[in-house]
Amino acid sequence: MSRPLPCGRCLIAMVKWTDGPKPVCEDTEIASNKCRRCKEAAKFCVKPTGVLESRSIMLAHVLASEVEHSDSVKSAQAAVKSFIQEMKVVAKYAQKMRTIAKLQRAVDVRIAQLKDIVAELKQTIDAEEDDPNEDIIVEFRQIVAAQSAQKKDFIFELIQIATTISTQPEDAITGAKQIVALIEQITVQRKASIAALSKLYNQVEPLDKE
């Protein structure tokens, strides 16, 4: 007997179907309650949830009702495909958010390491313009200022995109892609900051130990 709600593996087969025998999600009598396809493949059998659940039920119903690869089938397949694509974009976004958070922590650690040392070096600067410590302090301040500006710009752009998504839901995928692109840009900036701070730290540390 076919299931009204196909599992994820059967759903993918339904989305890809164009002709020939139609894929169905068949019940089995095994204790794990796996469908036939997952049982034969020795894979986990997982049912879709949320929005994907309703679209999966619709696709299975339309596929069972239609004889050919009709417009109704194509429409139901497209609805599932678009949602799966949305979920991929969201997953990519979530992963990049974790990456940017990790990089930001690394930047913050380097700034914290340098802050106290630079404060001590500042006290050693005399009136001579060629004091090497002065250049280090200036560079450190420039990096910190740039970090602050980048944070503000990042938050501002995120708010703008989020506002667009909330007022125009049909632009959600475009907005999510914009966020991913923005995060990639910030990731490059953070990595550059870490490199600059690490280089500066290597200059400062020997001075601090003298």
User: Do 146 and 45 belong to one domain?
Assistant: no
User: Do 93 and 185 belong to one domain?
Assistant: yes
* Domain count for the chain: 2
Residue 102 lies in a domain: yes
User: Do 39 and 99 belong to one domain?
Assistant: no
State mean pLDDT over 133-147: 74
User: Do 132 and 200 belong to one domain?
Assistant: yes
User: Do 53 and 103 belong to one domain?
Assistant: no
User: Do 59 and 88 belong to one domain?
Assistant: no
Q: Determine if the pTM surpasses 0.85.
A: no
User: Do 100 and 51 belong to one domain?
Assistant: no
Residue 114 lies in a domain: yes
Give the residue, 164 or 87, on which the prediction is more confident: 87
What distance in Å separates the CA atoms of residue 112 and residue 98, rounded to the nearest whole number?
21
Residue 76 lies in a domain: no
Q: Tell the residue number behind the tokens 């410590």, with chain if given.
A: 133
* HEC secondary structure over the chain: CECCCCCHHHHHHHHHCCCCCCCCCECCCCCCCCCHHHHHHCCCCCCCCHHHHHHHHHHHHHHHHCCCCCHHHHHHHHHHHHHHHHHHHHHHHHHHHHHHHHHHHHHHHHHHHHHHHHHHHHHHCCCCCCCHHHHHHHHHHHHHHHHHHHHHHHHHHHHHHHHHHHHCHHHHHHHHHHHHHHHHHHHHHHHHHHHHHHHHHHHHHHHHHC
Quick: pLDDT tens for 48-79: 888 788 999 999 999 998 888 889 999 999 99
User: Do 94 and 193 belong to one domain?
Assistant: yes
Quick: pLDDT tens for 80-90: 988 887 777 76
User: Do 54 and 94 belong to one domain?
Assistant: no
pLDDT value at position 178? 75
Domain limits at 116?
A: 84-209
117 has a pLDDT exceeding 70: no
User: Do 121 and 158 belong to one domain?
Assistant: yes
Nearest C-alpha neighbor of 204 from the set 145, 126, 116, 128? 116
Pick from 69, 92, 113: which residue ends a domain? 69
pLDDT value at position 94? 67
Per-residue confidence band for 28, with pLDDT thresholds at 50, 70 and 90? confident
